[in-house]
Amino acid sequence: MCGIAGIFNLNGEPVSPVLLRKMTDAIAHRGPDGEGFYIDRFVGLGHRRLAIIDLTPAGHQPMITKDGQVALTYNGEIYNFQELRAELETLGHQFRSRTDSEVVLNAWLEWGTECVNRFNGMFAFAVWDKREQSLFLVRDRYGIKPFYYALWEQTFLFGSEQKAILVHSKARRELDKKTLLEYFTFQNIFTDHTLLENIKLSSAPGFPWTHI
């Protein structure tokens, strides 16, 4: 289990490193083995690491390509990552670690958004691609790895848990009564809503945010 968090200021305002750290600290229990931050003006990615496959610093996240054009914050496990790594190596990709995170990053470079169709596993991740000025967010098909998000005015926030979002000064802890009624009625929530107004749980395999 790792933790991811991030900010996308749609109005182009610089990301606050203090806020990004607060968001990541809020989910520190998900990753006791390290923390990492990446900021590119109006985009910020945070990560709390639980090292499992590769215990070395080579697995540090957010993980960034050698040319600095693409950054990844990832939580999950890709069961077929070794097969994908072998395929990517035949296509000319080089690896510095033994992690499945680096396989995800190189798969993005090779196949773009279609890379998710090749993953067999559980995952939630965000990719910031400076070349396209786009932020791509995705979680596995069954939602095994959680992905919460909120859009308040011109600020888009996401995280592995709601508490990462709630540290923002614009956060509102208002009960979503309709969702609460849905839960009491069916003992489940069938939509992308949560018990808090304006915070949603991703119910779609992937969704892009592009800065224009």
The identity of residue 203, as a single letter, is S
Quote the pLDDT of residue 203: 63
Which of 2, 27, 45, 103 is catalytic? The answer is: 2
Structure tokens at 71: 């950054």
Q: How large is the greatest C-alpha to C-alpha distance in the chain, in angstroms?
A: 54
In sequence order, the 6+-apart residues with CB closer than 8 A to the CB of 170 are 152, 153, 155
115 is catalytic: no
Structure tokens at 81: 């990552």
**The dihedral of CA 90, 95, 98, 99: what is its sign?**
negative
Contact of 137 with 149, CB cutoff 8 Å: yes
Structure tokens at 72: 């990844």
Structure tokens at 198: 């304006």
Quote the pLDDT of residue 55: 67
Digit-by-digit pLDDT tens for the chain (212 residues) are 789 999 999 999 999 999 999 999 999 999 888 899 999 999 999 999 877 775 677 778 999 999 999 999 999 999 999 999 999 999 999 999 999 999 999 999 999 999 999 999 999 999 999 999 999 999 988 888 989 999 988 999 999 999 999 998 878 788 989 999 998 999 888 888 888 988 998 865 555 544 43
Question: What's the pTM value of the predicted model, to 2 decimals?
Answer: 0.90
Quote the pLDDT of residue 212: 31
Token match 């279609």: residue? 114
Length of the chain: 212
| CA–CA distance, 206 with 209 (Å, rounded to integer) | 10
**The dihedral of CA 210, 145, 22, 47: what is its sign?**
negative
> Tell me, which fold does domain 3-210 have in CATH?
Glutamine Phosphoribosylpyrophosphate, subunit 1, domain 1 (3.60.20)
Quote the pLDDT of residue 192: 85
